[in-house]
């Protein structure tokens, strides 16, 4: 069966996938709750609904995306017609993470299938219930030679990386991303790396603080902070630090009540290893709010930290949990020094009503993507490319950007045969002066 070139087959297969996901919506909620008590609302909002929306968008548009694109021809090649063809790479390996195990398995898979590739998906072993369900949906939808899910631990992923692939798509940590990049380099395999970073959230004194607090709390503590684009730390103007802290506390209580452990809307840490790493980062005397933890439940409450030591363990790497350090600045030199300590982040967030300040931040700092006066939600727009820069990743996807990521763009020039302009052929003789004049026009 030729999976790569039959656009109708690709479309029908993705329609079947959409049908099967809709059938399993209750199972998706149950699996994610079983893996780390993810609230049903967050599962539907940040996992299944995003996949369903992406599928509908891709099914609707994939024929136009796949159609050869005619481009303006060069007069040097007159007469000709020039096209760009979207060609599938072939065999694709997708390695997905545990923190959004349904969404981040299916989004790249959908794009790869739409572009005409066959896919081997390696979901995370840290979310066994969700990974088993992902595998089940794939078996119900695809021919095994077209798309297959391979379950197992990190040794299985390492074995897969030793094989020759036409494209590799990895989502996960920067440390593992380097391992993937090294493996891909052995065969000069093109890759996309969706990694992470220490995402700053700057709040200046002109911001709408009540709104900022609500949006920061939502973006940071959704999925118990286990989100690659969550604000990693706050950088707050000294004038408004106290007021913002009070508003953050009020919003945290509004969202999760006085005892977040009892809240049905707050997820758990994925495993005991991550729980131990996170709790070890907290210095009790710096706690402004929260800090409670229960190892048996893998529970760590939403926590605010008064951070004044940029050399602390909390500030050395990506937190990836419900701990929010609060740092301060007095001027833009302070911002420059703080952000300059870290590699380019996956996301940057800025709360301000000062348009000139906004322009300077956007102009001076490189980051994968971000929001002005909000957090996280840029990910939800399939018309925006999603990806990192530098240590936070390479490549992009979502919507057409995902289709293009998994497509080789093949350039084709179709030259007319009814005429042949001979100036380019040897013997060159006195043609040099003419070709110089012609080239000056282009």
User: Active-site residue numbers?
Assistant: 194, 228
Crossing angle of helices 128-141 and 103-114, in 10° steps, is: 30
Report the alpha-carbon distance of residue 395 to residue 385 in Å, rounded.
9
Q: Cis peptide before 79, with omega less than 30 degrees from 0?
A: yes
**Is 180:191 a contact under the CB 8 Å cutoff?**
yes
């Amino acid at each position: 069966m030729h999976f790569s070139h039959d656009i109708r087959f690709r479309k029908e297969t993705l329609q079947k996938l959409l049908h099967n996901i809709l059938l399993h919506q209750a199972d998706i909620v149950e699996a994610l709750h079983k893996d780390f008590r993810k609230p049903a609302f967050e599962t539907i909002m940040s996992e299944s609904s995003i996949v369903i929306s992406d599928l509908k968008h891709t099914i609707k548009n994939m024929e136009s995306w796949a159609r050869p694109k005619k481009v303006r021809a060069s007069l040097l090649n007159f007469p000709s017609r020039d096209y760009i063809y979207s060609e599938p790479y072939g065999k694709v390996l997708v390695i997905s993470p545990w923190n959004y195990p349904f969404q981040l398995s299916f989004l790249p898979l959908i794009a790869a299938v739409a572009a005409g590739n066959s896919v081997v998906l390696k979901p995370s072993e840290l979310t066994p219930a969700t990974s088993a369900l992902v595998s089940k949906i794939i078996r119900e939808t695809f021919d095994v030679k077209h798309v297959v899910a391979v379950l197992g631990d990190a040794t299985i992923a390492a074995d897969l990386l030793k094989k020759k692939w036409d494209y590799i798509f990895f989502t996960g940590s920067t440390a593992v991303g380097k391992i993937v990049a090294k493996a891909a380099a052995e065969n000069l395999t093109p890759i996309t790396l969706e990694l992470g970073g220490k995402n700053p959230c700057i709040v200046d004194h002109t911001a709408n603080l009540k709104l900022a607090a609500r949006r920061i709390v939502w973006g940071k503590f959704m999925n118990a902070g286990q989100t690659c684009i969550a604000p990693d730390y706050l950088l707050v103007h000294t004038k408004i630090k106290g007021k913002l802290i009070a508003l953050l506390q009020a919003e945290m209580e509004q969202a999760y009540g006085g005892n977040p452990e009892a809240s049905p809307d707050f997820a758990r840490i994925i495993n005991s290893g991550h729980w131990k790493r996170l709790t070890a980062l907290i210095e009790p005397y710096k706690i402004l709010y929260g800090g409670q933890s229960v190892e048996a439940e893998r529970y760590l409450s939403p926590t605010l930290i008064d951070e004044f030591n940029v050399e602390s363990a909390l500030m050395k790497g990506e937190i990836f949990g419900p701990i929010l350090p609060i740092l301060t600045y007095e001027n833009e030199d302070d911002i420059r020094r703080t952000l300059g300590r870290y590699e380019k982040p996956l996301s940057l967030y800025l709360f301000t009503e000062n348009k000139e300040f906004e322009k300077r931040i956007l102009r001076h700092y490189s980051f994968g993507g971000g929001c002005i006066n909000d957090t996280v939600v840029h990910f939800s727009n399939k018309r925006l490319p999603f990806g990192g820069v530098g240590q936070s990743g390479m490549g992009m996807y979502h919507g057409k950007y995902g289709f293009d990521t998994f497509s080789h763009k093949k350039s084709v020039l179709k030259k007319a045969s009814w005429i042949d302009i001979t100036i380019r052929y040897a013997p060159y003789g006195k043609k040099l002066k003419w070709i110089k004049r012609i080239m000056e026009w282009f």
